[in-house]
Amino acid sequence: MEKDNIQKPEFLFGKKNYIVMIIGIFVIALGFIFMAGGGSDNPEVFNEEIYNWQRIRLAPTLVIIGLGIEIYAILLNPKK
């Protein structure tokens, strides 16, 4: 009898929201991967790769775009 009263748990967001959130997380992760590296094993040697276009412009832009995707995923109405 009690099994009939058990309701299926509902998620906070719809399936479409979660898919868009996962895409946003991948874009943010890609931005952080592009930021990584550029260091040198020897502290006496300066490496110009730390000021690469990829680390200065592309990576932060990807992180900001990913955050925008996350905000969009939260505000997205799954019923439409």
Is residue 3 predicted with pLDDT exceeding 80?
Answer: no
The span from the CA of 73 to the CA of 78, in Å, is 9
The span from the CA of 72 to the CA of 79, in Å, is 15
Q: Is residue 54 part of a domain?
A: yes
Q: Is residue 59 part of a domain?
A: yes
Q: Is residue 58 part of a domain?
A: yes
Q: 11-69, pLDDT tens digit by residue?
A: 888 999 999 999 999 999 999 999 987 777 787 888 788 888 999 999 999 999 999 99
- Count of C-beta atoms within a 10 Å radius of residue 26: 12
Q: How many domains is the chain built from? A: 1
Q: Is residue 3 part of a domain?
A: no
- Count of C-beta atoms within a 10 Å radius of residue 14: 14
pLDDT at 50 (0 to 100): 83
Closest CA to 49 of 62, 61, 36: 36
* Full-model pTM: 0.80
Q: Is residue 39 part of a domain?
A: yes
Residue range of the domain that includes 44? 12-75
Q: Is residue 7 part of a domain?
A: no
pLDDT at 58 (0 to 100): 96
